[in-house]
């Protein structure tokens, strides 16, 4: 069976600076991998490469066995859900941030399910009243959880999280972690600079250990 995510000899230079090279990583279906490493080691960029947001200098990214190219990235994104570090929810109310993705053609077969959203609000210890608040007025921790809910509502099989719990208090962190680890159907690659702060149940991968040659 193919891996949900496979990264093969990936090399990335960013703004002329060498970030990482010959990086290899595989995440099996349903696995929950935490990727760690020092700040600036390219963890976030790795997630951005998978999403097609950052250019790769060499190597390949496979999502569900498919080699990601500029031609299929638009379809591949339909299998990935991504929560950026310090996410922005866009204009309008919080509910707009949740419903907006369902207006995109690729998500038309789905419909916004308010009940499912409310269940996630409860699971992540968020007050329902936030739905009626301007999305821009939410706190960092609230934005992170709303962005995670928006990603989960799209029912994508693979979830990419970039420091998704960095602004959360311990109780919320625990709630998010419990929910994610209980979802057997989800493949998760979560980036965390400090695994004592936030780590999922599966393997821990260290940026420095998954490269052939460490950057000098």
Partner 1 sequence: MSASDITYPQLAAGYALLLLPLGMFLWYGVSLISETVLSVLRMTAQLLFVGFYLQVVFQWNNPWINFAWIAVMVMVADASIVRGCGLRVGRFAFPLAVALLAGVLAPLLLFLFVIIRPNPILDARYVIPIAGMILGNCLRADIVGIRGFYEAIHKREKTYLTALAAGATLQEAVLPFMREALEAALRPTIATMATIGVVSLPGMMTGVILGGADPMTAIKYQIAIMLAIFTGTAITVTLAIYLTLSGSFTPYGMLDKDIFKSGKHR
Q: Count residues binding partner 1 (CB under 8 A).
A: 32
Q: Which residues contact 120 (CB under 8 A, 6 or more apart)?
A: 149, 152, 153, 179
Question: For residue 200, how far is the Cα from the chain centroid?
Answer: 13
Strands 66-67 and 80-83, by their bridges, are: unpaired
Return the range that interacts with partner 1 (CB under 8 A); candidates 5-13, 31-39, 76-84, 187-195.
76-84
Q: Work out whether 73 is an interface residue with partner 1 (CB under 8 A).
A: yes
Nearer to partner 1, 101 or 157 (CB): 101
Crossing angle of helices 170-182/140-153, nearest 10°? 10
Rule CB under 8 A: say whether 89 interacts with partner 1. Answer: yes
Residues 14, 53, 112, 179: which binds partner 1 (CB under 8 A)?
53
87 binds partner 1 (CB under 8 A): yes
Give the span between the Cα atoms of 67 and 197, in whole angstroms: 33
Does 116 bind partner 1 (CB under 8 A)? Our answer is no
Distance CA 70, CA 183 (A): 31
Q: Which stretch binds partner 1 (CB under 8 A): 25-33, 58-66, 102-110, 121-129?
A: 102-110
Beta-strand pair 80-83/5-14? unpaired
Question: Is residue 100 close enough to count as binding partner 1 by CB under 8 A?
Answer: yes
Which of 120, 126, 150, 186 lies at the binding interface for partner 1 (CB under 8 A)? 150
Which of 104, 119, 139, 204 contacts partner 1 by CB under 8 A? Answer: 104
User: How many Å apart are CA 97 and CA 89, to the nearest integer?
Assistant: 6
CA–CA dist 75, 71 (Å, integer): 9
Min dist. Cβ of residue 149 to partner 1 (A): 12
70 binds partner 1, rule: CB under 8 A: yes
- Element containing residue 132 per DSSP (H, E): none
Is residue 152 part of the contact set for partner 1 (CB under 8 A)? no
Strand pairing category for 158-162 and 80-83: parallel
- What is the closest distance, in whole angstroms, from the C-beta atom of residue 199 to partner 1 in the complex? 23
Residues that bind partner 1 (CB under 8 A): 15, 51-53, 55, 70-71, 73-74, 77-78, 80-82, 84, 86-91, 100-101, 103-107, 147, 150-151, 154
């Amino acid at each position: 069976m193919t891996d949900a995510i496979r990264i093969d000899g990936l090399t990335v230079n960013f703004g002329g600076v060498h970030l990482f090279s010959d990086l290899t990583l595989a995440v099996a279906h349903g696995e929950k991998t935490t990727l760690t490493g020092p700040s600036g080691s390219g963890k976030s960029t790795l997630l951005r490469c998978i999403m097609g947001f950052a250019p790769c200098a060499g190597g390949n990214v496979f999502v569900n066995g498919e080699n990601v190219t500029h031609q299929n990235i638009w379809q591949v994104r339909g299998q990935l859900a991504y929560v950026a570090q310090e996410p922005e929810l866009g204009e309008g109310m919080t509910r707009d941030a949740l419903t907006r993705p369902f207006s995109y053609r690729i998500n038309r077969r789905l419909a916004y399910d308010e009940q499912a959203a409310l269940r996630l609000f409860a699971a992540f210890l968020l007050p329902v009243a936030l739905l009626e608040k301007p999305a821009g007025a939410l706190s960092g921790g609230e934005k992170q959880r709303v962005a995670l809910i928006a990603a989960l509502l799209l029912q994508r099989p693979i979830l990419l999280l970039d420091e998704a719990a960095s602004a959360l208090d311990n109780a919320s962190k625990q709630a998010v972690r419990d929910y994610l680890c209980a979802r057997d159907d989800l493949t998760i690659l979560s980036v965390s600079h400090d695994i004592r702060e936030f780590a999922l149940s599966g393997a821990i991968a260290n940026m420095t250990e998954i490269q052939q040659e460490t950057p000098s």
